[in-house]
Amino acid sequence: MDALRLWILPVASAIAVFVLLYRPIPTK
C-alpha cells in the first residue's frame, strides 16, 4: 500500500497547514 501512503502524506501535510491557517494559535 505504498501508493496509499504516498497519497496520504501530501494530504495530511495540506490538512495540517489548513488547520494552522484556519485556526491560528494566539501568541503572547
Residue 15 exposed, middle or buried by CB count within 10 Å (0-12, 13-18, 19+): exposed
Radius of gyration of the chain (CA): 13
Q: How confident is the model at residue 1 (pLDDT cuts 50, 70, 90)?
A: low
What is the rounded distance in angstroms from the CA atom of residue 16 to the CA atom of residue 20? 6
What confidence score (pLDDT) does residue 22 get? 84
pLDDT (average), residues 12-19 = 91
What confidence score (pLDDT) does residue 9 get? 92
What is the rounded distance in angstroms from the CA atom of residue 12 to the CA atom of residue 20? 12
Q: How confident is the model at residue 4 (pLDDT cuts 50, 70, 90)?
A: confident
Q: Please give the model's pTM, rounded to 2 decimal places.
A: 0.53
Q: How confident is the model at residue 15 (pLDDT cuts 50, 70, 90)?
A: very high
Nearest to 3 by CA among 11, 13, 17, 19: 11
